[in-house]
Structure 1
Amino acid sequence: MEEGSLCVPVKKEWKDVLKLKPPGLVVDKFENKEWVYFEKTYRSKTDLENLLKERIQNNVPPKVDRRHAEEILKNLESKSFPLKEAQAKAIFSCLNSSFHIVSGGPGTGKTTVVAFLLEILNQLGQLPSPEEIALVAPTGRAAQRLTESIQENLKKFPKQKNPISYGGKRSTDFSPTNRR
């Protein structure tokens, strides 16, 4: 099993044992292959999948004045640093959706996109409460690093009347009762 894997492919020699449905394990098919999960991991995975499907299906785009957002972005760039075209595109894509995934390899500017996005929403007067924003990372350490990086990025912007500060809280509970 590789570090970070949620499941492992079912091996031939396991099939007879897995037919007995041992407690704590779940077998699931994906792309014509069988995979074995720990039951708790499988439940978390399916809860997250259902949450994401629901969010995507019930997506109500926020009402954002694009021109005003563009002005704010230009002002922020002039007082901090210019963004790459892909970063600006990602920001406006996020502004047009209540659910968005920003992904990329190390050093591609994901944290910068999030910091600019938060500041634009703040200046538009549309910044959600911290409880309504979910930032996720693969490990607790990565989540802490993400929080620290965003806080550092926010310090680069000119001081506002309503400064924003975000602290991180680790949660792996995706059940409907643990979200807004």
Structure 2
Amino acid sequence: MQSDLFSALTWEDALLLLRDNSLLRDLDVAIARFLKQQCPQASYPVLLLAAFTSNQQASGHLCLDLKNRELATQLWGTSPPPELVSLLPGKPDDWLHDLQHSPLVSQNGSTPLVLNGSRLYLRRNWAREVAVAEAIGQRLATVSPLPAERLRDALARLFPNAGDQTDWQQVACALASRSGIGIITGGPGTGKTTTVVRLLGLLQSLSMASNQRLRIRLAAPTGKAAARLTESIGEQVEKLDVKTAVRDAIPTEVTTLHRLLGTRPDSR
């Protein structure tokens, strides 16, 4: 009887039931309704998947990956009632088939939804991700590497105790300084902050030796992280073995990404 009840629900009933159980937001429901207006023949699963894709943004994700091993948890949480799970019948392979044959979905961004392999995007998020990827590609393609001899001398001053052992912080600095974009990653206590500060000292030293001064900005995702980094970076900058003018040209205040980017009038 229960399954008969749920199979009789319309796509919009299902959306509202999912919203009432905090699995979707009002915004997600509104997007699914808008897509239905644009494409009346859109299938039930595609509309629900579009709503779930929109909801991923609440967790900081740009897409819904139907091959993700954590997909069930992303959609339904840790212990959803079976009757809610039954609102989206079928399995990921079935959903991919529906998406691949839906007029709302394309691979090139010509429709409101974009399917890239197993990843479903709202078009605007797909376009933003593509734009970021292209910008990174341009930076990597146009960077001019620093002269090897000057770089070697500067690294030797900043990392004087390398000895015969490989100093991976020094390696990270060397690689990052010769690339348009660098990512330094590691667990707590592995020296990420120290490495970044020495990288800033390296780049600013080389730049000021050429009568130029880099404009450096430091940012973190949250205010708490920014405050913690401001303290730790300030301590590290004081220890840098560089000229006083170089040290003074390295900022120690970390702001949030939102404050760094600022607001844009008449835009979202």
Taking structure 1 as the reference length, what is the TM-score of the superposition?
Answer: 0.66
Q: Quick one: structure 1 residues 161 and 43, their matched pair in 2 at CA, closer, same or farther if it must change by over 3 Å?
A: same
- Determine the structure 2 residue equivalent to 1:56: 140
Higher RCO (CA 8 Å, separation ≥ 6 residues): 1
Of the structure 1 ranges 109-118 and 58-67, higher mean CA displacement relative to structure 2 is found in 58-67
Distance across 2 between alignment mates of 1:16 and 1:99: 35
Q: How big is the shift at 1:116?
A: 0.8
After TM superposition, list the pairs within 5 Å mapping 1:14-93 onto structure 2. Answer: 15=98, 19-21=102-104, 25-30=112-117, 33=118, 35-63=119-147, 65-74=150-159, 85-93=167-175
Pick from 95, 104, 108 the counterpart of residue 186 of structure 2: 104
Instruction: Find the aligned partners of 1:87 and 1:154 in 2 and give their Cα distance.
Output: 16
Question: Alignment RMSD, CA only?
Answer: 3.8
Deviation, structure 1 residue 54 = 1.0
Contact 1:144 1:168 (8 Å CA) reproduced: yes
C-alpha displacement of 1:118: 0.9
Cα deviation 1:106-165 (Å, max 9, x = unaligned): 33222211101111233332652126xxx676x335862575243342133367134121
Which protein shows a greater Rg?
Answer: 2
Moved more, 143-152 or 36-45: 143-152
Size of the alignment, in residue pairs? 160
Task: Call closer, same or farther: CA 1:74–1:130 in 2, change over 3 Å.
Answer: closer
1:8 CA drift (Å): 0.8
Query: In the alignment, does 2:215 pair up with 1:129?
Result: yes
The structural deviation recorded for 1:46 is: 1.1
Q: What residue identity is the alignment partner of 1:68?
A: D
Gaps in structure 1 of 5+ consecutive residues: 78-83, 174-180
Task: Trace 1:138-157 onto structure 2 (pairs within 5 A).
Answer: 139-141=221-223, 144=226, 147-148=229-230, 149-157=232-240
Question: Which residue in the other structure is 1:168 paired with?
Answer: 255
Q: In structure 1, what is the equivalent of residue 59 of structure 2?
A: 3
Match of 1:115 among 171, 175, 197: 197
User: Post-superposition, which runs of at least 4 consecutive aligned residues in structure 1 deviate over 6 A?
Assistant: none
> Does the Cα contact within 8 Å between 2:193 and 2:233 map onto a contact in 1?
yes
How high is the TM-score relative to the length of structure 2?
Answer: 0.47
Q: Name the CA shift for 1:128/1:4 in 2 (closer, same or farther; >3 Å).
A: same
Deviations 1:59-107 (Å, cap 9, x if unpaired)?
A: 22123503421342146x7xxxxxx811111112223333322222333
Evaluate the alpha carbon distance shift between residue 108 and residue 101 of structure 1 in structure 2; reply closer, same or farther with a 3 A threshold.
Answer: same
Unaligned runs of 5+ in 2: 1-55, 67-91, 106-110, 262-268
Equivalent position amino acid for 1:73 in 2? L
